[in-house]
Structure 1
């Protein structure tokens, strides 16, 4: 498997595949053609169908400034390799267009035709959950220890920065009010939910604050704020919310939070390596489902759970999101995305509590669920895989509750 730094990328929302990835591609192309005065960028498949809502065009134009940019939306054309494809070309008269086809494959990662089939740099000899559990049995070292042993000091520094960005997103989100950009006239709720949670007690307070923290990050992401892919922008509110509430409940210091992040990253890595974290490939189960598994594992570790209990919590987090569609209204990472983050954060916390009451033994393993999720995504019709052509996305022009 690759470094968990490929799971945790820092950047601006609202989408890792539709915003972060295209921005990275635009920067690469711009650096190669610094003297060009105009560009043409063609968007294919899912990028064309939901790019407006994800601010794909805005992000690309901003990155290529001050050059003039023409965006072409090819909604009915899709490249075979991946549904998120875009092509750059120099549009200066008399100049070589030097066309470059690139794919945004999820989590902010990009590949092109030259390297799309090349093997990524693998630094882990373990490739699935069973390998990691076997490593624990052989060495006595658990998830986060494997990460630190494999990736060294560099990953510790990265995880420190990741947590700082996550906390900052929560703090900003709890302070903001008003409408979220995009046209749905969706009001921010995090500040209101948090202020109301303070008056509550016990479980009601805990759950309400999880809601508020997840809302804070998800609303920041929807507004184009700085977040961390965990494993994507569209699911970026789940892990921070669960880490924040777990820190408050279990009194975990910064070092323990960083270790929990390492474990969460390893869980996300397993899914990415063996299935997909891209909504355009497997639906929202690959984004929110994976994020829930990551957060459940982290919370279980912070509560003192065993490796078996951590695996069980992660398995539940993914299993109970199987079949979840990606059908954003108007292509915006708002409805149903924001509320899905909230409910998945709560489900992750509950999965941790559930697993902690067990001995860690259960019937379906994490590797099996990952395999099933991949196959479910393949079986899922394209209208439900980030194309805004099916599900809730069909009701973007009305049928809302009037209250």
Structure 2
């Protein structure tokens, strides 16, 4: 299977890539399936069931809203986050939905979107089943989908087997492990970003790749800008106060920058701004997930503000390198909190950001791999236990801490010679095994850890 950097970085809306972006894509795909098979005009009712982690935290993660938007023909990278609220409210008030924006049918949010809090489908915790029936109640179509992290969605065939539509596009430097990636770099005398760029040319031109990545970077910048200008409290009932705006004012007005950790306060600001926007349902870039969306942008903004040589070219090389590391996690473990805990989200994002920064500050391929390994090694075992099923506590602060950790990992690696005892491949394998050993209550179900021990007020 060939993965592109644009598979790892996608524009979407908050609060979750697996619980919001994935279900929206699945619902959109289901309606398209009905249209392409010619049965859409005959559909009288549509019913959706959410299982496992989706069922347990579907309301807090915006899964129900996402399903409605997808059925209405909205796509994560195009939907207007502000208009989406009124669109969902209209469905609730009218008790009708326009499938694909073209075929209106009766629809009850409470009755036609069912959350199974204690049941899961066999293949993956984030399972969904869509049903379409005609006026006589006869089933026109039934389809299972799985949201497997980072907005990736798998369908299931009629036997219930998950089907992955693999991209078999041949690439210049195929790799599935860190060792293979470093082998290409050594033999061809290339940087990690050069290898990833050469592979991207299998799908698009260099100009299209650069423009696409600069668009991703611009969406990240817009997200930080919006996050630093917003105030108030986040939706969902926890009444979490948005802090990025006030922190931004204090940092802008600071006259004494002699504090050695002044730069880290800016990094904290950038991460808080992104993840508060995500928690509010705003537009973010999955990097590689929404729950970890603040780490790559925060480290990129650190580069822009504090590295004298930072440029658009550096941003492109950063994202290409981070994408190459993201491929390794996606291919060999998981980026789904529901599958391996937060080590698969914040841990992989920290690793990706560390590698990207190491690349742009002059790290060799061995040093880049070392930075990535440090980034994940010190996030191993990280649980996903969102309080109230919301991507707020501990998720927002966790992104800020991991952003600083990524910078430390990159600088530590570049100060060394690239040699180390634990390889990135071994660390990723350990992450996968740790996730398999982890109890389900620590994997995005809000049934363990902080989610259990903090009482909502």
- TM-score interval, normalised by the smaller of the two chains: over 0.9
Distance verdict in 2 for CA 1:118–1:12, change over 3 Å: closer
1:91: how far off?
4.7
Q: Distance in 2 between matches of 1:250 and 1:179?
A: 33
Query: Which range moved further: 273-282 or 245-254?
Result: 245-254
Q: Which residue is 2:147 aligned to?
A: 104
Q: Which residue is 1:63 aligned to?
A: 70
1:120: how far off?
1.8
Query: Which range moved further: 220-229 or 25-34?
Result: 25-34
Do residues 182 (structure 1) and 236 (structure 2) align?
A: yes
1:184-240 CA-partner distances (Å, limit 9, x unpaired) = 100111111122223151533201100000001000011111111111000000000
1:365-397 CA-partner distances (Å, limit 9, x unpaired) = 101000000000000010001111111111343
Q: Which residue is 1:230 aligned to?
A: 287
Do residues 72 (structure 1) and 128 (structure 2) align?
A: no
Task: State the TM-score, normalized to the length of structure 1.
Answer: 0.95
Do residues 259 (structure 1) and 260 (structure 2) align?
A: no
1:132: how far off?
1.0
- Is the Cα–Cα contact under 8 Å of residues 179 and 188 in structure 1 kept in the other structure? yes
Which of 126, 129, 134 is 1:87 aligned to?
Answer: 129
**1:208-223 correspondence runs (5 A):** 208-223=265-280
Q: Distance in 1 between matches of 2:209 and 2:122?
A: 35
1:91-135 CA-partner distances (Å, limit 9, x unpaired) = 553153311111111111111113724462145511111111111
Q: Which runs of structure 1 show a deviation greater than 6 angstroms over 4 or more consecutive aligned residues? A: none
**1:113-192 correspondence runs (5 A):** 113-114=156-157, 116-118=162-164, 120-122=166-168, 123-124=170-171, 125-152=174-201, 153=205, 154-192=208-246
Q: Which residue is 2:305 aligned to?
A: 248
- Is the Cα–Cα contact under 8 Å of residues 234 and 241 in structure 2 kept in the other structure? yes
Q: Which residue is 2:20 aligned to?
A: 19
Q: Distance in 2 between matches of 1:32 and 1:80?
A: 23
1:337-357 CA-partner distances (Å, limit 9, x unpaired) = 001000000100111121122
**1:380-391 correspondence runs (5 A):** 380-391=438-449
Q: Which SS does the other structure have where 2:12 is aligned?
A: strand
Could you say which structure has the larger radius of gyration? 2
- Aligned residue pair count: 399
Q: Distance in 1 between matches of 2:439 and 2:66?
A: 29
Q: Distance in 1 between matches of 2:232 and 2:117?
A: 32
Distance verdict in 2 for CA 1:313–1:141, change over 3 Å: same
Q: Which residue is 2:94 aligned to?
A: none
- Is the Cα–Cα contact under 8 Å of residues 250 and 302 in structure 1 kept in the other structure? no
Give 5+ residue unaligned stretches, structure 1.
none
Q: Which SS does the other structure have where 1:324 is aligned?
A: coil
Q: Distance in 1 between matches of 2:265 and 2:249?
A: 10
Alpha-carbon RMSD across the aligned residues, in angstroms, is: 1.6
Q: Which residue is 1:358 aligned to?
A: 416
Q: Distance in 2 between matches of 1:144 and 1:20?
A: 27
Q: Which SS does the other structure have where 1:322 is aligned?
A: coil
1:158-200 CA-partner distances (Å, limit 9, x unpaired) = 2121111111101110111111111110011111112222315
1:37: how far off?
4.7
1:276: how far off?
0.5
1:87: how far off?
0.7
1:155: how far off?
2.9
Q: Distance in 2 between matches of 1:323 and 1:214?
A: 22
- Is the Cα–Cα contact under 8 Å of residues 44 and 135 in structure 2 kept in the other structure? no
Q: Which SS does the other structure have where 1:89 is aligned?
A: strand
